[in-house]
Structure 1
Amino acid sequence: MEQSAPFGVHLTRSEENVAEIDALADLLAEHGGGRVGMTGLLGDLDRRMRRTYLPSTRLLGRFVDRALTWERRDRRDLFWYPQGITTSVRTDVERDVLATSWYSKRSHGSRISFIDLDRKRYRHVLLVEPTLTDPSTGSGTTVALKPLKAHAGGIVWHGPYLHVAATGRGFLTCRTEDVMRVPAGAGLETFGYEYVLPVRFAYRSANDEGVTRLRFSFMTLDRSTDPPSLVVGEYGNSKQTRRLARFPTDAATGLLAVGEDGISRPALDGEDQLTRMQGTAVVNGTYFVTSSHGRTSYGHLHVGKPGDFATHRWATPPGPEDLVYWPSTDLLWSLSEHPGLRWVFGMNRTRLLRR
């Protein structure tokens, strides 16, 4: 895909929180917990997804081909709202797994739900930022946790890394091997969550003078470029910027490519795009974009290229969010956010190409 020149926004990667994460792992190991990675987590999924049989409900929209819903307590939860979605495609995980992000309307931050599609089971994992106290206080070095407070409107799972969108701040990055089990006696506040995933580093957003800072509202990985590209989009109304930007990744590490100055700069794929964009997936140069229209209206699905979209109206349930493509099944997966109207659903990509 031909790209334009960088347009005045950039990301700088922070140092890794190696000492803090290792200290957390050591503390939890002392109490019988610690690092379990994806293997340990997928062997301990405590909740069950429910299949929604089509066309048992008209609320799913015109283009939904497969749908699952959460347990009742999650389906109706007024304090946690689902947002982002990604897959285990081209990771080391051998099972077919969807990961979704949620943000809290209380003070609990954000979390990831890992869904085993074959077993239809899932578990929530709290995203955290570990910190170390100053040993000069006389009490020795101790570990504390604070919840990651981010809207988490989009997530991308690429190799060992899970990236979490943080709107104007850029995005945060975890390693899935750092999933840890927290025993009850560890003395850490996790709001009842038995598993946590610590943030390793951040990609901090900045902008040149006169350029509006890029909002990381949602993210996806375009695997049809070599190497893959991280595509970022902005949710906005008619008075806000609504841009699509593309960051190249490094073939060796899978992380963002950087210039000689260590900074990552995106190319602008398009500006003044669709209003109320919620998520996108890019397949062989074609963009698929969800847009929402409130709790009482179906969502739309737009297909095409920046500046030239065809719209499938009433394509999804009310409140569609992020979007991701699963190549082996040719399904585009998304999820809806409103309490009582929450599904994780798949749509046939080829069917959506027919204008």
Structure 2
Amino acid sequence: MKKVFAVVLALAMVCCFAACSPKPAENVEGPTSSGDPDVTTYKIGYAFNAVDENTQRSLAGWEAAVEKWNASHEDVKVEFFYTDAQSSVEKQLSNVETMLLEQPDLIILASCDTEGCIPAAEAIHEAGVFCLETRGMDSDAVDLRWTGFDETSMSQLNAKYYEDYLNADPANTLNAVIILGNPAQANQLHRADGFRELAEKYPDRVNILSENYANWDTEQAQKLMEDWIQIHGKELNAVVAASDAMALGAINALEAAGFAPGDVIITAVDGTEAGLNQVKSGWQTATVKMLMSSQAEGQLEMAVKCLSGEYTDPTFNGGALYAVPVDSGNVDEYMTID
């Protein structure tokens, strides 16, 4: 009986010591641990507003950039994951909450709506995660406002084609319509700045007939264009589109109305495969191709610099660093460059 009591007492003491022993401290700050004390691993999440044809290029660029980085750096590694908000503010807010459960070090927020998604940036900030925003959000919760493609710079690249037309003949005039994307995405509103400057420079020769939003949608842009053709007819000879997808909508309407390639100067932004094919066909005059692979590499490098404390500025503007104008003269060259 004494032996049984002794065994029970010993077991009780072991359990007591185990319960009272301190647990290892959890790593709640800093980079994700890789298990190797000589290697720092950063976990980076990308909250896309939507994974469409254009952002699929950005995603592919990021995946390639991460693979290239990890192959060429021994001391700093990167883990990457992403979410697709499908152009929904509510879904993006939910996506960010889910992403935070992964305990990332940095989240890149491509806002669906620069006002409506402020709570997403605030949630990132409150979780102690670095917030890099790409759509021009004005919030103190944003740690770095990233402008990879300066919209005004890109609009000036396109404006050259309209000014060349004016310079070719003093009798030439421009009667243009402007198709913009989502009004809540502030940065893209500058994609028509270059043309507006021409209208100020040549007030007697450049007219803005109509402008409206098509929310990046081909069908919405086509409907706008159909209405404008009814109103303005053959007087219309220029289309300033904020994206290749919306330029396609304008082209569809023009073709159905009996216009021919070259009748209307059409410029856009993105340099998607569809946009480049529109340039090759002669319908679209030019596009500004966003070099997504180059931007992804630059964005990744900047993210690491922010996390390591090497870059501390609150803003970054790449200007036209990651963009190039594409027309019939160089379109073949850029069909395979991303």
- Does the alignment reach a TM-score above 0.5? no
Computing the radius of gyration over CA atoms, which structure comes out larger, 1 or 2? 2
Which has a greater percent of strand?
Answer: 1
* Shorter-chain TM-score tier: under 0.3
TM-score, normalised to structure 1, is: 0.24
**Greater relative contact order (Cα < 8 A, sep 6+):** 1
Which has a greater percent of helix?
Answer: 2
